[in-house]
């Protein structure tokens, strides 16, 4: 087993977390002609847990194809996807600043769920896990939301916020995996990497 994995994610947070855990990773990012955003389209009436696991599996399959196409050395390939949900309402990445403000207003004063699916492919096998966490936000004033959105931090983030950023000041209660809310759950990631044969400790 080589002492590294491929990380098929553009999230700097996931790379940072893996490095903190002592996992050496090489980025395996999409080619310019790949439409990775198209993989994140929600199907009608799709439950959040099924959605995030399906998207993660699609991203993993695309990454494995990318690895073969590029003729790179074999190593485990890791993908993950995070979604925020209120009930069955899936809250993905905001499409605009106005959309981000609406999403945050919806989260204000309520508890929501954060689901992160993680999957690893190696030697023709796939190992997958799902992390479920909940976050309760305090009431957020419209002016506070507007300033937060103006900072640019919510863009590109599921649910229009980053728990490791300024939005942490609104999180009055967290249950589950903090790293999962960031985008890569430590426990579940360790489980799938070890199942794929990687020695972590």
| Rounded CA separation 90/98 (Å) | 17
Is 3 one of the catalytic residues? no
Output the CA–CA distances (angstroms, integers) from residue 94 to 66, 70, 103, 158, 177, in the order listed: 27, 32, 8, 7, 23
Judged by DSSP in three states, 161 sits in coil
| Rounded CA separation 143/118 (Å) | 36
Q: 35, 65, 81, 89: which one is catalytic?
A: 81
Check if the beta carbon of residue 52 is closer than 8 Å to that of residue 116. yes
Query: Which residues have a Cβ under 8 Å from the Cβ of 159 and sit 6 or more positions away?
Result: 83, 84, 91, 103, 107, 112, 114
Indicate which residues carry an active-site annotation.
Answer: 81
């Amino acid at each position: 087993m080589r002492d590294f994995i491929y990380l098929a994610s553009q999230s700097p947070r996931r790379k940072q977390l893996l490095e903190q855990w002592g996992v050496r990773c090489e980025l395996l990012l999409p080619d310019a002609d790949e439409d990775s955003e198209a993989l994140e389209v929600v199907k009608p009436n799709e439950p959040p847990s099924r959605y995030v696991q399906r998207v993660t599996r699609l991203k993993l399959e695309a990454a494995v194809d990318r690895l073969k196409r590029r003729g790179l050395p074999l190593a485990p390939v890791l993908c993950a996807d995070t979604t925020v949900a209120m009930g069955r309402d899936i809250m993905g990445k905001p499409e605009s600043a106005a959309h981000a403000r609406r999403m945050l207003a919806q989260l204000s004063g309520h508890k929501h769920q954060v689901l992160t699916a993680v999957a690893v492919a190696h030697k023709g096998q796939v190992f997958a896990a799902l992390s479920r966490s909940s976050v309760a936000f305090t009431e957020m004033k419209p002016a506070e939301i507007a300033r937060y959105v103006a900072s640019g931090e919510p863009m590109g983030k599921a649910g229009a916020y980053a728990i490791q950023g300024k939005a942490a000041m609104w999180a009055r209660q967290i249950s589950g995996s903090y790293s999962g809310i960031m985008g890569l759950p430590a426990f579940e990631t360790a489980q799938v990497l070890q199942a794929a044969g990687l020695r972590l400790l």
